[in-house]
Structure 1
């Protein structure tokens, strides 16, 4: 097996260690590996495998769908990069290679593992949106894709750092408990939820007095998908309106 894997026939030269060291969830690293190994079922690749299908990108319907178009050239993808705060990486002159694999390897070789992780998460969200459009005819706005990538990476990174810095498994974060508000004060807790494929954002809020007793609460939803930060800000606004 070592001989087969190491043979020139199957070996692809590139910064593979940069991919596996990227600070990002395993599912996103796996997507990056599939992209660089030419395993993604793009329409141009399916046609090479004698699968009959249309060639245009299902998201923009403007160009032939290959890896370079899906992740780097599609208008929706490019705007998603900007929404995720990665426009400088996308337009960097170092990363304008003629195929997606070389671009990925260049990013892995020149950027920090954190930046590579953020890029990888953005690519994963772009691919997820592409498949959602293809199979469910549901497509998000670029700002939603970019914000989701930004929030998802930050959430994962925070938990990952917390776990890696506390190998004993006992941290202050695990000891945090809900505390009653001060005398004559009211505490409001909010939360946001997203149901995959529904296109909805649901929120909930709960008021408790200084004894910890329930005072009031409410739930609500809107027919759009927003980021965690936007959802919680919206819920806080609802809470302030309710208190007034």
Structure 2
């Protein structure tokens, strides 16, 4: 399944792949809401959450790069926006991207890891979580430790 998702992502343009990945995350979020809080969401709510999250992330990236004040989500992005792209590791090496998410309501930390080779091809991915909630620096360090294992 992972290989199929990464194969599809490699065929999409950056905008499409960002939306696709964010929708996958939103589907995962919907499953957790159903499992842990017995909340049911429609497909349109899942897509709306994904697009809102992606729009907010893009706005935050503009602010970070430009050092400017926050903009409204529906305000057009500046023309000077640069695209930040994932870069392949050096020949013969692997690259592991790690991220942690923090849920105060569930008192836990979620981890996501993805390893790619020097051609940028998917090698391995893993998700994990642990209790209790911790500091961001600790969560990221645990993510690195988990990836190394």
TM-score (normalised: structure 2): 0.47
More helix by share: 1
Q: TM-score, normalised by structure 1?
A: 0.30
Higher strand share: 2
